[in-house]
Amino acid sequence: MFFMGSLQQLGRAFMLPMIVLPGAAIFLSLSRLPWDLIGLPGMEGYLIAASNTIFTYLPYLFALGISLGLTGNALAAGMAALVGMIIYSGITGTAESPIEPTVLIGTIIGIVSGVSHERFKNLRLPEYIQFFGGPRFVPLFVSLVALLFSIGMLGVAPYLQKLLVELGEVVASGGGFGVFLYGFVHRILVVFGLHHLVSHVFWFQIGGYETEAGEMVYGDLPRFFAGDPTAGAFMAGLYPTMMFALPAIAFAIIHEAREDLKPKIRKTFLYAALASFLTGVTEPVEFAFLFVAPYLYVVHAILSGIIMWVTYELGIKHGFSFSAGAIDYAINEHLATRGWLILPIGVVVGLIYYFLFRWAIRRFRIPTPGREEGSQLDEWAGDIPYRAPLILQAIGGKQNIVRMESCITRLRLKVSNEKLVDINALRNLGAAGVIKLGGGHVQVVFGTYSELIREEIFKTIHRDQAQVLFHSPMQGRMIPLEEVPDPIFAGKLVGQGVAFIPDRGELVSPVQGEIIHIYPTMHAIGIRTPEGLEVLLHIGIDTSKLTGKRYFNAVVKEGDQVTPGMLLVKFDLQRVRRESKSLATPMVITNSDLVHSWRYAPFKAVKKGQSSVMSVVLKERNGGGETQ
């Protein structure tokens, strides 16, 4: 599993250099406009040159991007990768037959640079040459490796280039089944964030094409944009899936949601459907049913492969620079072969997916969002700074983070202790899924706001504020304090906080602190945190009259030190429900004047001891006074 974690980090690194490709596609598409008619006759040539230049330097971009992606944007690794590519180009350029750098070469040098940085970044040399130790040693080491590698490639490169062309012919000989297999594997690997690895091989390495200028380009994607009429087979079949199939699933989830939840589910999944249709970002929809019905995801992967097989047999060739969404479809249609067929095929695919998923959700009672306890996909806009501290707590706090990165739809974490990652809390905070790959590698799928979430978490880490983080004191449902059927608590006269409706008769500590008071009936308990906050937990409303251990039984005493999740009180849930006004259990801070700001998780079902249900930022203290 540690190997899987390393692969997912490499897969994420492949995405970094690909973010420049949409620019090349847009430039090439804009070059077809009638610039002469608006008095800019040279613009067409400039746009074509800009597009071609991006593809020409693609190996350098991959070397740089992969090295940065593997090291958390370490500048020494990036410098080493560029130096390595420059050395390679300089040496191979002296060959009798010019050897052009390829994306494969850029990938190799990028990986070498990234691995070398992680290996030597803490290198200590004798004091008189320590200037060249640590990260500064990496470019020197990679330069030596690149020198030896380049000399060796003088003899190997011609055979390697021939092998890539022949490998493309072998893959092409597999016909529709080969394309089907690629489509199936690609979809399955999305689950682990490894789909970029297999795509990288097919899109940037297999198959060769000689341009009119005499340059060789390799891979389905560069060949497509270079004008190769045989390129695009490994991209065209993704358009019906991303533009039609995934939006159809989103509509099926909306229509199968409970009536009372449909308005919220409709808003969330219309955004997810639109993201898939326009940009080809599919994870927000796919992760909505992946974890609750993995067998249905396998069916989805098989159907995706069949769709690619059909487009191949119909001779459709199409490509994209970023992903198979409507934007790329429109921009690159002028380079496609029979690309118009994708639209009617997509309509048929959409109908099949819609009715299949509606039937499956109903027939097998799949708990998709909007039904029972399905995966949570919430609206993030404007809410990210509010939830970031809670998300940080749910992943174990800043001390648990070794490395944190983000790709299009997920946070990619390396943590010290996977056991500290609270999956229930993360799902409650909006994560569509959490994947543990072993070796401390964890992925949290938050949709297209993942990068903004990462930035806000970093701001939270570096912000010097005193915070107190609260866990759930019981299993049940968290509700706003205003919904407690008691004017004293609802009016926040006792203090501010939240409340819970329990479904089990156990009360646990939400914070670290000291028991300062236990009421004689044991229905309420007070805790003082090390920061001085006084937290009151009150089981039920009008429960002070319920005397005797048959109702409440405290397992701690005044003066005891408690930690989050430690059992405080056992109570007879059914008896208390019958003989009290309400089971609503407030958790309030009675000295709320010490608090500067409050953050609450969404008011949903929670587990006992679940982290990240509430956090508060304390007012700053300066001597005897306070400042905000």
Query: Which positions ≥6 away from 548 have C-beta within 8 Å?
Result: none
Asked if residue 136 lies in contact with residue 76, where contact means CB atoms within 8 angstroms, the answer is yes
Which residue among 407, 444, 568, 569 is the active-site one?
A: 407
One-letter amino acid of 498:
V
C-alpha angle 254-256-259 in degrees, rounded to nearest 5: 80
- Token pair of 621, please? 């203290």
Which residue is listed with tokens 């891979």?
A: 219
Using CA atoms, how far residue 85 sits from 152, 449, 459, in Å, is 14, 34, 35
Tell which residue, 446, 448, 407, 445, has the closest CA to residue 281.
448
Largest CA distance in the chain: 97
Query: Which positions ≥6 away from 300 have C-beta within 8 Å?
Result: 187, 245, 249, 286
Q: How many CA atoms lie within 13 A of 108 on its CB side?
A: 13
Asked if residue 536 lies in contact with residue 556, where contact means CB atoms within 8 angstroms, the answer is no
Query: Which positions ≥6 away from 544 have C-beta within 8 Å?
Result: 519, 521, 523, 524
CA distance 199 to 206: 10
CA distance 248 to 368: 14
* Known catalytic membership, residue 407: yes
Phi-psi region of 228 (alpha: psi -120 to 50; beta: other; left: phi over 0): beta
Backbone angles phi, psi at 542, to 5 degrees: 60, 45
One-letter amino acid of 35:
W
Tell which residue, 197, 213, 225, has the closest CA to residue 54.
225
Q: Dihedral sign for Cα 13, 19, 20, 24, please.
A: positive
Whole-angstrom Cα Rg for the chain: 29
Tell which residue, 389, 380, 274, 387, has the closest CA to residue 327.
274
β pairing state of 513-518 and 561-562? antiparallel
Tell which residue, 223, 242, 237, has the closest CA to residue 180.
237
CA distance 576 to 504: 11
Tell me how far apart the terminal alpha carbons of the chain are, to the nearest angstrom: 47
**DSSP symbols for 248-311:** HHHHHHHHTS-TTTHHHHHHHHHHHHHHHHHH---HHHHHHHHTT-HHHHHHHHHHHHHHHHHH
Backbone angles phi, psi at 595, to 5 degrees: -95, 135
Torsion of CA 441, 447, 451, 456, to 10 degrees: -90
Query: Which positions ≥6 away from 49 have C-beta within 8 Å?
Result: none
- Return the DSSP state at 101: -
Active-site annotation, residues: 407
